[in-house]
Amino acid sequence: MTVLPHSTDALHRLSDAVDGFLRSEKELNLADPAVNPLVGGRFRALGTQIGACVLAGVPEEQVSATVRPARDVLARSPLLRDENEWARGYPSDFRLVEHVLAQANGGAPGTLGWHVEAQLQGSALAQQLRNRVAHQTRLIGDCLTAPRSGPRSVLVIDSGAAPDLRALPPSILRPGDRVVLTDVDPDALELAQKRLGPLNEATTTVPGNVFRAIPKLAELGPYDLVLANGLYGYLNDRAAVRLTEAVLTRLCRPGSTFYFAGTVPGNEFRWPLEHLMDWSVVERDEQAVRALLPGCDVSTGHDQTGLALLTHVRVR
């Protein structure tokens, strides 16, 4: 295999960035929180050089081998280790979401893992996740409090432990209202039931892959609001179109709203997430999202960070 000169240069710069990041343990007093911006700068430089290698065509195995020492160090952080090991077999584990929402830092103080976790928790990437959950809370609240002639029904796909629903007061529910939660991880639904309190009285859970769960979800519908959370970030276009068709034709009632969120291209944390945490998402801009929804009444917007694209479909 021929290695192009610019690929070799990129790989050398990546190796230097890895070394610079690891030298933080010797060069910086990691017990001092004030050095966090310095560690953050070296972590971002590492991500930049990973991206440069990918764009220069450096083979995946060479990038992985070069960053392995940094991955090993970062695995000391609970947040980064859990994601890297895919404890449940897939990324964006619901426990990670809960961790980010709590703005916790599980790394041992005085370690690189602690400083990188602090950087991630304070980043726009983590904030956009919190913003997305808050937006879903508002959508659910608006649906349940809107003027209506009968009970309301809400479906949350990829619900995790339902942090959006948990943020609402039980008094928001009226007689006959129903909320259905579905997630591939039964542990997520179990945690939701433990934390929902009185809201459990109006909540039904459906575990399993959403595509296989469609018939059961349809039996419990139709719905005034269907939320797909960040699931579209893990679906290719074909699967996204398939899910969209099922939601619009089998789950939504006329006049209802279908909502999902995703990450736009240009996220500075993309490369370290992919190569240091094995966490990849499908990034889509507004044009790519609208291509999934031909002929639909679509409105889009961004959260305050600009990283999350919020898509609302009005069902005719």
Q: Categorize the per-residue pLDDT at 148 as very low, low, confident or very high, splitting at 50, 70 and 90.
A: confident
Q: Is residue 228 part of a domain?
A: yes
Q: Is residue 128 part of a domain?
A: no
Q: Is residue 104 part of a domain?
A: yes
More confident residue, 91 or 195: 195
Identify whether residues 27 and 65 lie together within a single domain: yes
Q: Is residue 196 part of a domain?
A: yes
Identify whether residues 46 and 78 lie together within a single domain: yes
3-class secondary-structure state, position 4 = coil
Identify whether residues 115 and 139 lie together within a single domain: no
Identify whether residues 52 and 171 lie together within a single domain: no
Identify whether residues 42 and 183 lie together within a single domain: no
How many domains does one find in the chain?
2
Name the domain boundary from 101, 122, 143.
122
The pLDDT tens digits for 39-89 are 999 999 999 999 999 989 999 899 999 999 998 888 766 666 555 554 555
Beta strand pairing call for 203-207 and 223-227: unpaired
Identify whether residues 172 and 93 lie together within a single domain: no
State phi, psi for 130 to the nearest 5 degrees. Answer: -65, -40
Opening angle at CA 165, ends 164 and 170, nearest 5: 145
Given a cut of 60, is residue 92 above it in pLDDT? no
pTM over 0.85: yes
Name the domain boundary from 98, 122, 146.
122
Q: Is residue 129 part of a domain?
A: no
Name the residue with tokens 């990691």.
30
Closest to 260 (Cα-Cα) out of 299, 287, 291: 299
CATH code, domain carrying 251: 3.40.50.150
Name the domain boundary from 93, 122, 151.
122
Q: Looking at the chain, how many residues does it have? A: 316
Identify whether residues 196 and 228 lie together within a single domain: yes
Closest to 181 (Cα-Cα) out of 199, 90, 173, 172: 199
Q: Identity (one letter) of the amino acid at 182?
A: T
**Can you give the residue range of the structural domain that contains 233?**
135-314
Identify whether residues 26 and 148 lie together within a single domain: no
